[in-house]
Structure 1
Amino acid sequence: MFETLKPEIELILNKPEATIDDRLQKICELLKERLEYYDWVGFYFRNGTKEELKLGPYAGEPTDHSIIPFGKGICGQVAVSNENFVVPDVKAQDNYIACSLTVRSEIVVPLFVKGENIGQIDIDSNTPDPFSSADERFLEFVNAKVAEILE
């Protein structure tokens, strides 16, 4: 499943006539549409020099969490740790920010440009514990390709 999506990701990103936000929006929509347990897909980026993340393009239900302080919630923790964070059950997490009552699990993978963590891709799922190491590797691939257009 992931292997068939990789060329589509590259095709979307290799369209310089489209804005970066438009390309990232298409990535979010593709992943949400094609991966049945990806119920919300979005990018967060460091907000200038502030110690916070700002919501970028996303696909799914609207969220009130357009700004997330570093260290708060799963996304905020990844901004500090620089490591992938897979949450099989969000109810078991103390430092979790609920975007929706239907969300059961989450995966966040940091996005690096020239070695610096500039943001992340965030996936919420209404399915308990659906994410595997294959999801992590795939999202790392997506972020590596996104980084190429942001350099």
Structure 2
Amino acid sequence: MGRTRTYEWEDPTLLAASVGHTSGLDLLRELQAGRLPAAPVSATVGFSLDEAEKGHVVFSLVPGEEHYNPIGSVHGGIYATLLDSAAGCAVHSTLPPGMGYTSLDLNVKFLRRITVDTGRVRAIGTVVHSGRQTALAQAQLVDATDRVLAHATSTCMLFPLTTP
């Protein structure tokens, strides 16, 4: 029997227009409080921003069948999306107004499978090092008992934003 999933998202230009006008941490806190719309990918995948501190963010997801690959567990792309979001936003949380970032790479290690029985998972991102032009961040995907399910590192390029 077929299953259906319906979801909504806000206009992504509202969030994009806010980037760079405040510090990265302030932007993330506005997202967390619901005063700015979440990125559409969070609605598509179904994850949320739970914590935002300087150099540290946490996203969470309750895995569902809609996240499954053909072998009956959560697809690696879902792991990677959560880890990339956590690592990148950890970097974003350290940026002053007028600065932006983009991911240069993402290296993911898958350690354990995730199914609907796993329950809520958290992607915890932290900044390892931040320089003038690049930042290194890591993220761990953990279950409710803090068992590590996957680990990632990401290098991000930092750059000044231009205003129109």
Q: TM-score, structure 2 length as denominator? A: 0.32
Query: More strand by proportion, 1 or 2?
Result: 2
Query: More helix by proportion, 1 or 2?
Result: 1
Q: TM-score, structure 1 length as denominator? A: 0.34
